[in-house]
Amino acid sequence: MTIKINREDMLELTRRMTPSRTSFTRIAGCYVDEDAYIEGTFNTNFLKLSPSEKQKNLMIAKAIPFSDTNQNLKEYIFPENAQGKDSMWRLLCGIKSCGLKNDALMETFYELISGCYQTDQEYAVFIFHDCYDIPAKASDKERLWESEEVFEYLICAICPLAGEYEPGAPECGFLFPSFRDRSGDPNRIAVFQKDSQKPHDEIRELLLSERVE
């Protein structure tokens, strides 16, 4: 089931996706060949990247929430039966809670993506972890210094490789959990498809699946 996304919620997130304002904590990912074989992985502290690497990776992450709302980026509710212990939802919650630092969870995630993603190209899977300290707003919508809540979330981008380990623009991805009314909603996920006419439905189905092996 799809739900309308408020564009202003997405813009609030993307305004902070600059080298000087970002609060991304880590970036991790893998490279997959045309035969769906994982060739290598990486996992590092985002703030330790060089300025140019920060900028390049922020552009990849930003492409997901900044895409055309309710056309290329659509929100879905997790079915109640898709939040069990063996579900993709539970795996994503675990990856978020550990801040990408659990290698076993990350490897499981990469294997699930490479096992279902349909392409004849080499590609990369990028996943970002962030903790956004949401500032409170007064009744006149002016920002206050006080924090309202911390929104901890993941952005995933699946990108074809434009060169040797050089990612192109994301083909699909997601934001988890969804960001609604300036708050996180763990029961929903926003899924990005670059080509809304020929979406990678296999990724959406995987994300909402009841059980993953």
pLDDT, tens only, 143-179: 555 567 899 999 999 999 988 889 999 999 999 999 9
Q: Is 142 exposed, middle or buried (0-12, 13-18, 19+ CB in 10 A)?
A: exposed
Residue whose C-alpha is closest to residue 123's, from 156, 168, 155, 159 = 159
Phi, psi torsion values for 100, nearest 5 degrees: 75, 15
User: Residues 174-196: what's their mean pLDDT?
Assistant: 95
C-alpha dist (Å) from residue 71 to 3, 52, 176, 192, 204: 11, 31, 18, 9, 14
pLDDT of residue 135: 86
Gap between the Cα atoms of 152 and 130, Å rounded: 6
Helix (H, G, I), strand (E, B) or coil at 83: coil
What is the number of H-type helices and E-type strands within the chain?
Answer: 5, 11
Instruction: Assess contact for 49 and 112: CB atoms under 8 A.
Output: no
* Better pLDDT: 189 or 85: 189
Q: Tell me which residue has tokens 């903790």.
A: 131
pTM (2 decimals)?
0.92
Predicted pLDDT at 213:
64
Q: Is the pLDDT of residue 141 over 80?
A: no
Counting other chains too, the contacts that 35-42 makes at CB distance below 8 Å and 24 or more residues apart are 36/114, 36/115, 36/117, 37/114, 38/110, 38/111, 38/114, 41/106, 41/107, 41/110
- 48 secondary structure, DSSP code: G
- Cβ atoms of 118 and 160 within 8 Å: the answer is no
How high is the pLDDT of residue 148?
72
Report the percent of the chain where pLDDT is more than 90. 83
Determine the average pLDDT of the residues in 126-136: 93
**Residue 161 has what DSSP assignment?**
E
